[in-house]
Chain A
Amino acid sequence: MANLKDLRNRIASVTSTQKITKAMKMVSASKLKRAQDAAEQARPYAERMENVLSSLASSMKGQTGGPKLLAGTGSDQKQLVVVATSERGLCGGFNTNIVKAAKAKINSLIKDGKDVTIITIGKKGAGVLKRDYSDKMIEHFDLSHVKNLNFNDAAPISARLIEKFDGGDFDVCTLFFAKFINVLTQVVTPLQLIPASFDADNSTDLGGACYEYEPDENEILEDLLPRNVGVQLFRALLENAASEQGSRMTAMDNATRNAGDMIDSLRTTYNRSRQAVITNELIEIISGAEAL
């Protein structure tokens, strides 16, 4: 049996670990609130954008030669996978889940003989993916300096994506991120950013009204589609941020509870061995006295 001093040290160290995890849980709880608010605030913009775009897209349907961002390049040979993960660890299965889903997709794409390239956002996913696909990773975006994500942080990334698309570097771009459902549930979601995909049923009913377009439809689409990529990306990053905090909160809650269990069992062992030591000493004294 471990001696008393060792046990005392262990208890002390587990207790301080518990304090840390508890504090981290509290911090992510408050950050989660903020992230959730931000995600909610961003919703109206993204929804309206989608409405307008899908009605534009449906009116453009059947016409050939639409903007490439909408219609695609007509090929799906060159695939770009964008993996958005967190900048910091200790958030349970958050990063692992995203990376796992992305890997499955990448592997199936490779098996189909596609040319895959990877862009990562957030260093946690980049580290893991580098191990298997270091030759395919072309770029990395670091958001570790960003405390509160705003649109200006997402804009350069989407601008870069569009630049690459216009340069013919890829045909299809899929973004992997974790959609925030609630604190306990985050679902890894692949989102096709380029070419833009819309639910046909999602388009607003214009009530027979015909929009006037100023300038014309094509120019509006050309202006809106790049913006849409930015907005979708921004929204995904916000969801991701909320998911990260939710995931960390759950993980830290578990860790705090586990530490509590550990302390309980250590304390029991400690008390038992303390008793054993005392009893031993008594027996020695008594038997010593009796021997006289």
Chain B
Amino acid sequence: MADKLHFELVSPARLLKSADVDMVVVPGTEGDFGVLPLHAPVVSTLRTGIVEVHDGGAAEKLLVVGGFAEVNAEGLTILAEIAKPLSEVDKAAYEAELKDLDEDVQDAKNDDERARAEKARDKIASIIEVLEREAA
């Protein structure tokens, strides 16, 4: 279909969404980009952010963490490590995790451990940042 964009959102655990929509806004590493039907083929990595799916009425918003998007003649496919509808995201849980990870960073015994803990913490921190921006 030329007037609709076929959109698929896949996480390692399952196929989250597969639908024909008007437009999708993708949070690429180098900036957000909107994908309309007949978009040129693109492969882009994702940053932590919100995918907006426009189809008729209000946009549906989904949180994605890590992964990449592929646009080809058939449509748009987003492969994300974590993907969740924004309404189902539990911010308090992430905040609790951030606190745990903060402690991990402090408890780390060597540089290796600290680097790993910091990486995990930054990931969660970026999620919270996105959520806060969205809430504002």
Contacts and interface: CB of A to CB of B under 8 A. Distances in A.
Interface of A: 38, 41-42, 44-46, 48-49, 52, 56, 150-151, 155, 159, 206-207, 209-215, 219-220, 223-224, 227, 230-231, 234
B14 A220 contact: no
A210 B42 CA distance: 8
**Dominant secondary structure at the B interface:** strand
B23 to A, nearest CB: 18
B28 interface: yes
Contacts of A155: 81
Most chain B CB atoms below 10 A, which of A46, A48, A209, A210: A48
Contacts of B56: none
Given A212-B43, A213-B43, A227-B81, A52 B68 contact: yes
B104 to A, nearest CB: 13
A220 B45 contact: yes
Interface of B: 8, 10-15, 28-30, 40-45, 66-68, 70, 72-73, 77, 79, 81, 116
A52 B12 contact: no
Given A41-B15, A42-B14, A211 B43 contact: yes
A242 to B, nearest CB: 15
Nearest to B11: A45
Contact of B44 (A38, A46, A48, A214): A214
Given A214-B28, A224-B68, A227-B67, A45 B44 contact: no
A207 to B, nearest CB: 6
Nearest to A234: B12
A48 B77 contact: yes
A41 B42 contact: no
B15 A223 contact: no
Nearest to B42: A212
21 contacts: A38-B13, A41-B13, A44-B15, A46-B12, A48-B70, A151-B12, A151-B81, A159-B116, A206-B72, A211-B70, A211-B72, A212-B40, A212-B42, A212-B43, A213-B43, A214-B29, A215-B30, A219-B45, A220-B45, A220-B68, A223-B68
B9 to A, nearest CB: 10
Contacts of B13: 38, 41-42, 150-151
B10 A48 contact: yes
A220 B43 CA distance: 8
Contacts of B14: 41-42
Nearest to A40: B14
B32 to A, nearest CB: 12
B37 to A, nearest CB: 15
